[in-house]
Amino acid sequence: MAVDLRGVTTVLLPGTGSDDDFVYRAFAPALHEAGAIVVTPPPQPHRLIDGYRDELRDAARSQPIAVGGVSIGAAVAVEWALAHPTQVVAVLAALPAWTGAPDAAPAAMAARHSAELLRRDGLVATTTQMQATSPRWLAEELTRSWLSQWPALPEAMDAAAGYVAPRSGEMERLGAALGVVSAVDDPVHPLEVGIEWVSAAPRAALRTLTLDAIGADPAVLGAESLAALWDADNPARPAVR
């Protein structure tokens, strides 16, 4: 049965260090066009993962919801969908960062390193270093969101870096359709992870884009995630596009 998001509360969770402002701009245009009710809770950096879980639980009190997010937000959304199969109708996962334990995943290593620098050098110096090594659009996004989450930002980064995402074997039990979008040129959120998620989940498809495309218009993340979700419910279409 095709996923219908009309009137469905859809909760989107930000990535590590990011915020609800970015995830709203990334997903809301496409979801509003699909008739969904968009909810983008702000991260609670002092209790990042538990805060996300609480937001999902509260949103699903009265009816099934759709869930999703970016990076760590996408992983927590999949975890919650696996734990509450009757309460989730669809999952939208943008830029998944790892499967299972973080170990040497680039995103986890980057979060741990940033947390160390923030504690040692402070927000201003670490933000300046981040700006020098990031695409301009990403530096602008993180400069804003990091400031809003300071001084608990290092705690949030440590929590994300230690998070054990659902494993491939667990994703094989995912009942909801899964739409994944990965960037082909993102070393922090490797394309291989998106392929792994889609290969494991029974009803899943992947769309790809570039970091420049996200920088030009973050709404492409939501549009491509929804396109992947529709692909997942159409067996005639390839799982990876």
Distance CA 141, CA 150 (A): 15
| Burial status of residue 31 (CB atoms within 10 A of its CB: 0-12, 13-18, 19 or more) | buried
Short-list 108, 39, 44, CA closest to 68: 39
pLDDT tens digits, one per residue of 181-231:
999 999 999 999 999 999 999 999 999 999 999 999 999 999 999 999 999
Q: Where in the chain is the domain with CATH 3.40.50.1820?
A: 9-101+164-232
Short-list 27, 137, 31, CA closest to 73: 27
What pLDDT is attached to residue 18? 97
The three-point CA angle 50-67-211 to 5° equals 95
What superfamily would CATH give domain 9-101+164-232? Alpha/Beta hydrolase fold, catalytic domain (3.40.50.1820)
Lowest mean pLDDT among 1-5, 143-147, 176-180: 1-5
- Mean pLDDT, all residues of the chain: 96
Q: Is the pLDDT of residue 34 over 90?
A: yes
Q: What is the average per-residue pLDDT within 141-164?
A: 98
Q: Is the pLDDT of residue 239 over 60?
A: no
Distance CA 89, CA 164 (A): 23
What pLDDT is attached to residue 238? 55
Q: Would you tell me the crossing angle of helices 153-161 and 136-149 to the nearest 10 degrees?
A: 110
Query: Looking up tokens 């997942």, which residue turns up?
Result: 232
Neighbours of 238 (CB within 10 A): 9
